[in-house]
Amino acid sequence: MKLKVGVFKFTSCSGCQVELIRMNEQLPELLNLVEFKYWAMASSKLEDGPYDLALVEGAISTPECIEEVKAIREKSRVLVALGDCAVTGGVPSIRNWMSQREAETIVYPKPGCIRSTRVYGIDEYVKVDYYLKGCPPRLENILEVFKAVILGVKPRLRQHPVCVECKFYENECLLTTYKQPCMGPVTAAGCGAICPNVGRVCEGCYGPMSDPNIASMVERLKEIGLSDDEILRKFRKYAGMSKLYREVAKL
């Protein structure tokens, strides 16, 4: 029996689905094990559940999204938040820190026709079994979830900070050595430390690790000269609505 999979999209850029499609020539192999029952971006065949695995991309930002995500939950055995927007609201949630009317008026001349609410991750409304962090989550991590669900085991997703992976690559520490505002120490790993590998600081696109020392991170950023506003912007970028970062965001 092939695993019955549904891929769904809410408020997002589709980049997580595109990352999944980046499996490229491995796709036919995956198709031996899974059947995509619902994946609107890739197929005109849209079959109703039940699904063994639902991958949900995107944040929830309209009343319609709330009803839809609840319906998907009811039809799905394992439900996975695919990427930052689904995990915490991601980049679109930056607007939660300004008034809704202000955001609408800046973009649309007639905001009256626009229906949207504050932006949250899907677990604000439904139970989530696994979280694939990242903007986007790395393909290897997405495939790890497929493998785990097929085998009926828990996926191994990294809980430690990016620093651990960064050390594997023997990079010099951008924060302590070069006094650059690297978010690596509080950010969940899984990316393979790609930013330090190409000489730039971690921007925190995987959101918080399991137990980050946020107070110490904030202290360190102040020490190297960041203003309170700059620090706030760092924490309010990819995961500003995560429970761990909402505290800093009140600074």
Q: Contact positions toward another protein, by CB under 8 A?
A: 9-19, 21-22, 24-25, 27-28, 31, 36, 39-46, 58, 61-62, 65, 90-92, 94-95, 98, 102-104, 106-110, 113-114, 116, 135-136, 139, 191, 194-195, 197-200, 203, 205, 230, 233, 237
Q: 94 or 129, CB closer to another protein?
A: 94
The CB-side HSE value for 163 (13 A sphere, CA atoms) comes to 15
Rg of the chain, C-alpha, whole Å:
19
Question: Considering the complex, what minimum distance in angstroms separates the CB of residue 127 from another protein?
Answer: 22
CA angle 76, 81, 83 (to 5 degrees): 150
Sequence-ordered list of residues with C-beta below 8 angstroms from that of 95, at least 6 positions apart, any chain: 103, 119
Q: Which residues pair with 188 in a beta bridge?
A: 161
Q: 33 or 215, CB closer to another protein?
A: 33
Q: 94 or 214, CB closer to another protein?
A: 94
Question: Considering the complex, what minimum distance in angstroms separates the CB of residue 70 from another protein?
Answer: 16
Spatial separation of the C-alpha atoms in residues 6 and 86, rounded to whole Å: 15
Q: Note the residue count of the chain.
A: 251
Q: 139 or 244, CB closer to another protein?
A: 139
Q: 110 or 250, CB closer to another protein?
A: 110
Q: Which residues pair with 130 in a beta bridge?
A: 80
Sheet bearing 34-39, strands edge to edge: 34-39, 3-9, 51-57, 76-82, 130-132
Q: 129 or 249, CB closer to another protein?
A: 249
Question: Considering the complex, what minimum distance in angstroms separates the CB of residue 206 from another protein?
Answer: 12
Task: Write b or e for each residue in 28-51: b if 16 or more Cβ atoms lie within 10 A of its Cβ, otherwise e.
Answer: eebeeebebbbbeeeeeeeeebeb
Question: Considering the complex, what minimum distance in angstroms separates the CB of residue 28 from another protein?
Answer: 4
Question: Considering the complex, what minimum distance in angstroms separates the CB of residue 93 from another protein?
Answer: 9
Question: Considering the complex, what minimum distance in angstroms separates the CB of residue 211 from another protein?
Answer: 26
